[in-house]
Structure 1
Amino acid sequence: MRARHALAHGDLAAVRRDAERGARLFRRLGDQWGLSQTFFPRAALHEIAGEYREAARLHEEGLAIAQELGLRSEAGKRLCALGRLAFLEGAYEESRQRHAEALRLAAERGHRAGEADARIGLGMVVRRTGDLAAAEEHMRAVLTWFRDSGYAPGTTLALAELGFTAELRGDADRARALHAEGLAAARALGDVRAVALALEGLAGAAAAGGEPERAAGLLGAARTARASAGAPLPPAERHDVDRTWSACRSALGPAAADAAFAHGATHPAEAERAGSVWGTAQFQARA
């Protein structure tokens, strides 16, 4: 449980320490149920590092234990995790199938948290494959549930996904508002990786709204934030960042884009503060 709480707050060193110690103790006891609880935080470390094969190996082992013990809710969690890894490797149909099966298992048992996890995965898949209406439907449902349950890490992710969806729809103002709200929630949570995600979202909104210099600076600040957490963005998770960066370079030219990025990277607090105020101001103006 300490490892899970540390993961929610982005303390990866504590995740590694407590999750590995928990796994060793449960193996020594021969407690398969207890061991099954350690797979998520341990695999998450490998996923964050882009080590997808090792993450999948751990989740497959966890799925086998869950099926052996008849733990259908736990099996659904491991299916979601495997679906997430399939998504990161570009196997979108496999990812959709894994998440759909997890949603079915969760719905059968009235497991709302499991339904939310499955919907997040489905929402990410359909956004990537171009069904923005379905993506928004899934993410609105999970945002409502996360807010009602007070689960801040889920709230920041849902806001980011809704913000990216709004940007892709061409609604830069709504994207700014959603990512600014996500940034405030991430700051309150103290999760540096969630802060970086919100900054990347604000960068996308800025680029879509005709402010490429601001966008490049926000991307620089986001990279600095991720580096400070010891978790640079893996290549498979760079889709939104890469398309924003491409827009910045096209609008500014390579030299000016690099300069704006470097300024944001070396003055991240300034870029983050400006991005937050800008996003909030846009939201208030629209309201």
Structure 2
Amino acid sequence: MKTNLPPYASPLQRLWYFSFRTYCIIVLTFLLLPLLVIIPLSFNATPYFVFTHKMLTLDPSGYSLRWYQHLFSDPNWMHAIRSSFIIAPIATVIATVLGTLAALGLSRSHMPFRQAITSLLILPMIVPLIITATAAFFFFSSLHLVNTYVGIIIAHAILGIPFVVITVTATLSGFDYQLVRAAQSLGANPRYTFFRITMPLVLPGIISGALFAFMTSFDEVVIVMFLAGPVQRTLPLQMWNNLRYNIDPTILAIATLIILLSVVMLLTLEFLRRRNAKMRGLAS
């Protein structure tokens, strides 16, 4: 078995190494097992949140796609899905553009009040979401943006900006600004330099931040509860209402699809991380 331990590691160090790895596996299994249970339950042929005898014996009649069919045929669920895919992409674009511009400015050492501005930009990640939602409700009420798509999009963009700032700033930490100076010395204007020199090198960080911003908006429910009306009902809000008033396995079907979407996002982030490492010469 290949390990990261040096060949001269003591027996106590080896014991700690394997004990820690075992502990991590147990914790991860404990955290992931409830998610794995949701997937087979979403194919349950009965309207119950239990494993039936037919499911446990792998009888095909115990499994069904009826809840997925109900998900895509029910107008309430479809409206919620459309609302989420209207709000999340627009909020992601706004957060990505503003967060990238902020990170580019904050990466310069001569930027005044850099630490204070960075702290202000990442504040939405620190402040409890219920406080942010309450503040957004009172502020947007004065602007008549409550019960509108615009208000929710702006609020979700504010939540996504810190993720973009952090990921792009981390990408720019090893950026060689000599490349920018070389391009400018050859007559390239700032816009050409950004799109042909800077942008390709920081693109993995931008995409990573955009994915985090998208999932933050797509999965957010507290601010939507404060700002949304019946028309702006998003998928997480519909799931919340379904749990409160009308529980059926349809929510397991949509939960399974969200899990698959999250897995795709994580795989994309890992691919971008490896690509970024190769671009920096840190991986073979």
TM-score computed with the length of structure 1 as normaliser: 0.25
TM-score by length of 2: 0.25
Larger Rg: 2
Q: Relative CO higher for 1 or 2, CA cutoff 8 Å, sep ≥ 6?
A: 2
1 or 2, which has the higher helix percentage? Answer: 1
